[in-house]
């Protein structure tokens, strides 16, 4: 039976408070039959879930489209909820029933509807350039009472802040989001969260309150300890819309009627932690009946409301709880908890003692080689929680406005008897739906995959940060573009990167240059390195590929084009990029002493990425039907490639930059061809043999290295590289007990000493980009890029020596793809799942038509198999949707072609 399931609007199930004026919906098809393709669909939209009277209908549309379907000429209105349902027809004519109803609710769509005021304390802190020695600032509480005199049909709160906020209504926290409103360039964009508070209102007196924190807006950012980069006044913005049963409405807003007082939070910063004095708690401050007569009047804060936007990305939430695995007494006599996992979030703990007793928690990622607590790599970040007891019964506490990156926690001031059950690590990250998994027969590789995923969890907290622990935690563009394809296997990162790409466009310079970090908090000279600024093109293109989302290309096209035009104007001629600052192959192991920059010529890297971004811009123009631009940038690309050959390839086809990274970029970006390609492959293998199959690549070359080997006939070398356990290698970190990806291949050296003190993060996801190769080549899940979004799937596993089996799953916008291959005594098996409304091209490596079978049937007779042919690399076949089980005898050992 054909079913329509998992309806989504703008990637989300029943989203509340969206600002997309042309909403798009997506759905999946479910059927036990094979080769299911949608031939038509119908959508209905209604104001009520019973669909008694639809307000919009598509009629029956002949189309296979089930992703990002725009609701035509439906005119949406602010704060209105729309219910929708879908039914579909298969190519054989089978019709589904109507799907279960889903809904989306609009937020505020017109800036003129924002009638609240920004409010804060009457005496703001001094505008600070640097932190003074006596810096301490209590987080403010703001509140007001209001009456509800009749039955409430619906109530929505829309809230934002300069800084961070937590909202309470009648003594209860509103929502489960953290670090709201998130990090943007507040001069241009400030997000607003929407909350359904209908059930939280009482008939009679009610009270609403908020507590504010400095957050990214006002607290220190980057390693220069600069404060107030966006402003020096915390402020709240709130509109509470109440609709009554009788059809009337009332609005409660933030304005001069509110009152304020300092809270029990004495200090709260992203980097430094939180100081909390429980003796200063004010019971009932956000509940009705509280006397705020001694509180001060708030002040109106000057801040434009034109920059307000409804929430775009996925909010930060709590996801996991981790209990400590050990209580350690270090050689220095310190008491330290080991959680067994490098994580991001905070510690929730319970303590009992006398009033005024102070307990302190310090957070660190590693212990030193003597087994002592190590925080030098945090630089200026304190990662410190101070809690002052109110005394009496046991007290439980967790922070509000600060997060830490840690595995180990040093305890000071706690009672002599420490109980592990009194401590819990709370894991926080952006709420991105899990989509992928990878497992194989090697436990070390499985731990590597674990580390990659935890690197994402720790660094995808509202923005894609480089690291979550030291005085940095910035959205480095290079790291983001290197990892985004891997991230898209692990989680649905489309809303996350859509928001971040808009931030990038907002922060982009007038000349098209792209800052090193987004949101940009560095100086005016920190912009436009090759491989970093290219995030402007690579990230939107990757989201389009992985989710079939053409709108992000439409939105970001001007930004993408501006970046390529910026490059074109930089070089001595418009076809080479040979000027300006570049990070180069950052942290490459072939670098000169006392430098972070690898040996690969930076002009070479810049020109290679210039070619790559131009090629993606051309593809983007083609996807958007911009024929003139497609021709223009196609011609520019050809010119760049010709200039690249003139500058970096000898007449005999030898690449003049003799590094691993140089060969890799030329090969994977498709710049090299013919004899030059052959020589680059040979040179790469020569370099691999010289290094005894170890990498020398840095941030730029590493994401592509294994692809360059596998895709050019040397899959065996890629596997050798993967399985190395000594330095430098991915598994070296695993053997050293890593639970996340390190910034440096030898962050901890063989003798237990550290690579450096000032730049040595143990949760830095960039080198986790090897996950892309594990999914796309080892397990073999890929796509035909000419049809974005996994509409046409490629299943081409590349088994290699060292693995007996590998399995990956990927939940796409169409449904789950699964690829699981295993070696058997007499050959191989491959189990494949292809979601409905898609097709797949499958390779059975080293198979022959004579021995290959699908569930016992010859391939040309198997249900769902549309085409079969024998090729040099094995048997290739085209299948429709369904679950398949193949087995075959391997005719000969896998060999490089």
CA dist 810 and 491 (Å) reads: 9
Alpha-carbon distance of 709 to 665, in angstroms, equals: 12
Number of H helices, E strands in the chain: 14, 48
The helix (H) or strand (E) run that includes residue 141 is strand 140-148
Q: For residues 810 and 435, what is the distance between their CA atoms, to the nearest angstrom?
A: 5
70 noted as active-site residue? no
Helices 715-723, 674-690: inter-axial angle, 10-degree rounding: 30
Furthest CA-CA distance within the chain:
88
The three-point CA angle 458-726-752 to 5° equals 70
CB proximity list for 858: less than 8 A, separation 6 or greater: 852
Query: What's the first-to-final CA gap in the chain, in angstroms?
Result: 45
Helix (H, G, I), strand (E, B) or coil at 619: helix
Instruction: Tell me how far apart the alpha carbons of residues 395 and 873 are, in angstroms, rounded to a whole number.
Output: 65
Question: Which member of 743, 807, 811, 854 is catalytic?
Answer: 743
User: 298 burial class (0-12, 13-18, 19+ CB within 10 angstroms)?
Assistant: buried
Dist. CA 375–CA 763, nearest whole Å: 14
From its phi and psi, is residue 259 left (phi > 0), alpha (psi between -120 and 50) or beta?
beta
Report how far residue 202's alpha carbon sits from residue 207's, in angstroms, rounded to the nearest whole number: 10
64 is catalytic: no
Query: In whole angstroms, how large is the CA radius of gyration of the chain?
Result: 29
Closest CA to 521 of 225, 222, 233, 227: 222
Pair 278, 352: CB distance under 8 Å:
no
**Nearest in space to 212 (alpha carbons), one of 189, 239, 235:** 235
- CA dist 834 and 818 (Å) reads 7
Please name every residue paired with 823 in a beta bridge, in sequence order, or none if there are none: 828
C-alpha 813/C-alpha 320 separation (Å) is 25
Cis peptide before 728 (omega within 30 of 0): yes
CA dist 754 and 684 (Å) reads 30
Q: Which of 166, 269, 384, 472 is catalytic?
A: 472
Active site (catalytic) residues: 472, 743
């Amino acid at each position: 039976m054909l079913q329509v399931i998992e309806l989504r609007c703008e990637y989300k199930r029943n989203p509340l408070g969206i600002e997309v004026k042309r909403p798009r919906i997506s759905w999946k098809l479910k059927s036990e039959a094979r080769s299911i393709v949608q031939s038509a669909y119908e959508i209905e939209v209604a104001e009520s879930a019973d669909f008694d009277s639809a307000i919009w209908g598509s009629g029956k549309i002949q189309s296979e489209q089930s992703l990002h379907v725009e609701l035509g000429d439906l005119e949406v209105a602010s704060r209105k909820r729309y219910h929708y349902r879908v039914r579909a027809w298969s190519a054989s004519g089978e019709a589904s029933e109507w799907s279960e109803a889903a809904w989306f609710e609009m937020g505020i769509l017109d800036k003129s509807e924002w009638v609240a005021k920004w409010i804060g304390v009457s005496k703001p802190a001094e505008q600070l350039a640097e932190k003074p020695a006596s810096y301490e600032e209590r987080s403010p509480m703001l509140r007001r009472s209001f009456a509800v005199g009749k039955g409430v049909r619906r109530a929505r709160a829309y809230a934002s802040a300069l800084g961070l906020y937590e909202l309470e209504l009648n003594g209860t926290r509103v929502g489960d989001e953290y670090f709201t409103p998130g990090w943007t360039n507040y001069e241009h964009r400030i997000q607003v969260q929407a909350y359904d508070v209908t059930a939280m209102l009482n008939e009679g007196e009610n009270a609403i309150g908020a507590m504010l924190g400095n957050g990214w807006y006002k607290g220190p950012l980057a390693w220069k300890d600069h404060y107030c980069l966006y402003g020096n006044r915390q402020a709240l913005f709130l509109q509470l819309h109440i609709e009554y049963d009788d059809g009337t409405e009332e609005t409660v807003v933030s304005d001069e009627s509110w009152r304020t007082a300092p809270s029990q939070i004495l200090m709260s910063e992203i980097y430094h932690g939180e100081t909390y004095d429980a003796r200063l708690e004010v019971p009932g401050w956000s509940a009705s009946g509280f006397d705020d007569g001694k509180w001060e009047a708030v002040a109106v804060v000057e801040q434009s409301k034109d920059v307000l936007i409804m929430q775009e990305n996925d909010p930060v939430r709590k996801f996991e709880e981790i209990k400590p695995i050990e209580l350690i007494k270090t050689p220095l006599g310190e008491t330290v908890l080991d959680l067994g996992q490098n994580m991001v979030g905070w510690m929730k703990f319970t303590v009992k003692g006398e009033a005024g007793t102070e307990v302190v928690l310090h957070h660190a990622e590693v212990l030193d080689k003597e087994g002592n607590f190590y925080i030098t790599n945090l630089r200026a970040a304190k990662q410190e929680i101070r809690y002052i007891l109110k005394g009496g019964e046991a007290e439980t506490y967790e922070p509000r406005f600060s997060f830490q990156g840690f595995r180990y926690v040093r305890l000071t001031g706690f009672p002599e008897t420490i109980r592990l059950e009194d401590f819990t690590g709370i894991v926080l990250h952006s709420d991105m739906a899990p989509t992928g998994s990878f497992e194989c027969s090697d436990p070390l590789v499985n731990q590597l995959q674990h580390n990659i995923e935890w690197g994402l969890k720790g660094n995808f907290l509202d923005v894609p940060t480089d690291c979550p622990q030291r005085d940095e935690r910035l959205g480095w563009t290079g790291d983001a573009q290197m990892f985004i394809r891997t991230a898209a296997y692990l989680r649905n990162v489309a809303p996350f990167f859509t928001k971040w790409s808009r931030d990038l466009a907002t922060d982009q310079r007038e000349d098209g240059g792209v800052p090193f970090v987004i949101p940009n908090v560095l100086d005016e000279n920190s912009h436009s390195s090759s491989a970093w600024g290219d995030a402007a093109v690579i990230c939107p293109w990757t989201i389009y590929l992985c989710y079939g989302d053409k709108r992000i290309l439409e939105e970001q096209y001007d930004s993408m084009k501006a970046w390529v035009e910026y490059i074109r104007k930089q070089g001595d001629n418009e076809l080479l990029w040979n000027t300006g600052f570049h990070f180069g192959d950052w942290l490459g192991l072939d670098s000169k002493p006392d430098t972070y920059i690898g040996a690969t010529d930076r002009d070479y890297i810049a020109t290679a990425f210039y070619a790559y971004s131009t090629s993606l811009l051309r593809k983007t123009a083609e996807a958007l039907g911009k024929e003139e631009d497609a021709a223009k940038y196609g011609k520019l690309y050809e010119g760049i490639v010709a200039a690249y050959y003139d500058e970096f390839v000898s007449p005999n086809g030898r690449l003049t930059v003799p590094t691993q990274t140089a060969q890799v970029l030329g090969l994977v970006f498709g710049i090299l061809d013919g004899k030059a390609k052959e020589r680059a492959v040979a040179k790469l293998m020569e370099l691999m043999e010289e290094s005894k199959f170890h990498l020398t690549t840095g941030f730029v070359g590493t994401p592509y290295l294994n692809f360059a080997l596998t895709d050019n006939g040397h899959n065996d070398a890629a596997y050798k590289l993967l399985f190395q356990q000594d330095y430098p290698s991915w598994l070296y970190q695993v053997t050293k007990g890593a639970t996340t990806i390190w910034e440096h291949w030898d962050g901890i050296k063989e003798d237990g000493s550290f690579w450096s003190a000032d730049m040595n993060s143990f949760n830095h996801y960039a080198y986790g980009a090897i996950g892309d190769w594990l999914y796309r080549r080892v397990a073999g899940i890929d796509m035909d890029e000419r049809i974005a979004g996994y509409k046409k799937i490629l299943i081409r596993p590349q088994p290699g020596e060292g693995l007996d089996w590998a399995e990956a799953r990927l939940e796409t916008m169409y449904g789950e793809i699964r690829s699981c291959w295993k070696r058997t005594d007499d050959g191989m098996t491959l189990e494949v799942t292809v979601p409905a409304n898609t097709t797949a091209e499958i390779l059975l490596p080293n198979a022959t038509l004579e021995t290959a079978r699908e569930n016992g049937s010859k391939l040309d007779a198997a249900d769902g198999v549309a085409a079969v042919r024998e090729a040099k690399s094995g048997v290739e076949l085209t299948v429709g949707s369904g679950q398949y089980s193949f087995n075959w005898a391997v005719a000969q050992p896998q060999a490089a072609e």
